[in-house]
């Protein structure tokens, strides 16, 4: 099964993608996690993107495309994967289609988590507080200033990706304002219509 999970920053993509990974035994491929890990490891890519990620802007398409092309070619992705935070631009979506076509693969569905914008900043601040309470460093972009940049990038560059997938008949929209378990149930119900592992 090959899925994309779409949604605004703070919509719950990571939470639901992690659950889907457990349920279906396929990897969750989060470009945000991969970029943050590269930054922490201090790789050339990490050094190139750290400032951009921390500010809340989008990393250039070619950087994430290279990471994704390499990642989906690994053996653990052969049975499927959940893309979390990618694609974030229509160009990334088109390039993903091209990458998959070469491998004779296709996406099964795109799950979009719809959340009221007014709820997003509160969720992100909550995550930052909870992370700090666990004694871990909060994400550098989980603050009001970077959040505004992330939301602006989402509206301008990522919102059109939903229409791109709707045109392909792949888009399933889920109410991301519901409690985590209720969102999960909605996703599972949507998944019943396309699961074919």
One of 13, 36, 123, 172 is an active-site residue; which one?
13
Q: Under the rule (CB under 6 A), what is the footprint of ligand ADP?
A: 9-10, 13, 31-32, 35, 52-53, 56-59, 64, 85-88, 92, 141, 150
Question: Tokens 């495309």 correspond to what residue?
Answer: 65
Let me know if 134 is a catalytic residue.
Answer: no
Residue 57 structure tokens: 């802007």
DSSP 8-state class, residue 169: T
Identify the H or E element spanning 113.
strand 109-114
User: C-beta of 108: minimal distance to ligand ADP in Å?
Assistant: 19
**Where do runs of H (alpha helix) occur along 56-179?**
61-72, 90-102, 117-133, 144-153, 159-167
13 is catalytic: yes
The minimum distance between CB 197 and ligand ADP, in angstroms, equals: 25
148 is catalytic: no
Tokens of 39: 């930054």
C-beta nearest to ligand ADP: residue: 32
Catalytic site residue from 2, 36, 123, 150: 150
Identity of the residue, 70 or 195, whose beta carbon is nearer to ligand ADP in the bound complex: 70
Least distance between ligand ADP and beta carbon 56 (Å): 5
Active-site residue flag, 167: no
Q: Hey, what long-range contacts does 114-119 have (CB within 8 A, 24 or more apart)?
A: 114/7, 114/11, 114/173, 114/174, 114/175, 114/176, 114/177, 115/7, 115/8, 115/10, 115/11, 115/12, 115/176, 115/177, 116/177, 117/8, 117/151, 119/10, 119/177
Q: Considering the complex, what minimum distance in angstroms separates the CB of residue 150 from ligand ADP?
A: 5
Identified catalytic residue from 19, 50, 88, 172: 88
Judged by beta carbon, residue 9 or residue 80, the one nearer ligand ADP is 9
**Known catalytic membership, residue 123:** no
- By annotation, the residues acting in catalysis are 13, 88, 127, 139, 150
């Amino acid at each position: 099964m090959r899925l994309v999970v779409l949604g605004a920053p703070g919509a719950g993509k990571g939470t639901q993608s992690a659950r889907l990974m457990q349920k279906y035994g396929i990897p969750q491929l989060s470009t945000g996690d991969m970029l943050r890990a590269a930054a922490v490891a201090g790789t050339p890519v990490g050094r190139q993107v750290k400032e951009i990620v921390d500010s809340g802007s989008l990393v250039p398409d070619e950087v994430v495309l290279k990471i994704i092309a390499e990642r989906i070619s690994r053996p653990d992705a052969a049975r499927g994967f959940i893309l979390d935070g990618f694609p974030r631009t229509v160009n990334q979506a088109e390039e993903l289609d091209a990458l998959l076509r070469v491998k004779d693969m296709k996406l099964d569905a795109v799950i979009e988590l719809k959340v009221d914008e007014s709820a997003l900043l509160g969720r992100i601040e909550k995550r930052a507080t909870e992370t700090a309470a666990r004694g871990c460093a909060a994400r550098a972009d989980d603050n009001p200033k970077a959040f505004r940049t992330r939301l602006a990038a989402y509206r301008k560059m990522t919102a059109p990706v939903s229409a791109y997938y709707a045109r392909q008949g792949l888009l399933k929209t889920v109410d991301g304002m519901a409690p985590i378990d209720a969102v999960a149930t909605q996703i599972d119900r949507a998944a019943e219509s396309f699961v074919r592992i």
